[in-house]
Structure formats: C-alpha cells, structure tokens
Amino acid sequence: MGESDLRSVGLYQAMRAAGVRMKVARQRIGAREGRTEECRLLDEPATSPLLTMDRITQYDTGVPVEMGPACLPARPVHVQHHPHRALIRDLGRAHHQL
C-alpha cells in the first residue's frame, strides 16, 4: 500500500483491498492545551485549547490494525467519517482531508 493508494481510495478502502477485515473502532475524545508545535501546524495561537481524539481499529480477530491520535482546533468544525476517509471542514477556513 503506497501513498498513491491512500490519495486515490483512502485508508480503509486500501486496507480492505489488501485483505484487512476491520470489525470495530473505538475513539476517545478529550480536550487539552495545545503544544507549541501542534498550535503552529494548526495555525492557532500558542497554547490554544485543542480537541483530542485517540482511535483504535481492530481486525475481526480483535488485533489492533490502526491506532492514531489527532488534534483539532477547539472551535466549530464539521467532521464527516466515511468508510474510507475522514473529511474535516473547519467552519470559516479551508478543507482538510485525512
């Protein structure tokens, strides 16, 4: 699975095409003060509040296949989850696709 696969079909669709069978995803959502580098990358003032997400997706056997943290600005955003990609639309700013 290469970068071009992820750009054209998305992570979950590429994983399914490779024979990975996902069963369940668990996500924990929280909030905290942003670290300097996170705020810089998100174009937010230093120490801005951030929403945090930790996600674990498991094979149908229960073995973890995807683990990942994420941070979002703590202001209105719209998040759409599709089977193969997530689209985050920051209300009032550009779109970000994961």
Mind listing the pLDDT tens digit for each residue in 36-77? 998 998 889 999 999 998 888 888 888 888 888 888 888 776
Q: Is the pLDDT of residue 78 over 70?
A: no
CB-CB contact of 59 with 20 (8 Å): yes
Q: Which domains does the chain have, with CATH numbers?
A: 22-97 (3.40.1410.10)
- 51, HSE (Cβ side, Cα atoms, 13 Å): 13
Sign of the Cα pseudo-torsion (11, 56, 49, 39, in order): negative
Using DSSP's 3-state secondary structure scheme, residue 15 falls into: helix
CB-CB contact of 51 with 75 (8 Å): no
CB-CB contact of 56 with 64 (8 Å): yes
Q: Is the pLDDT of residue 87 over 70?
A: no
Q: What is the mean pLDDT of the chain?
A: 76
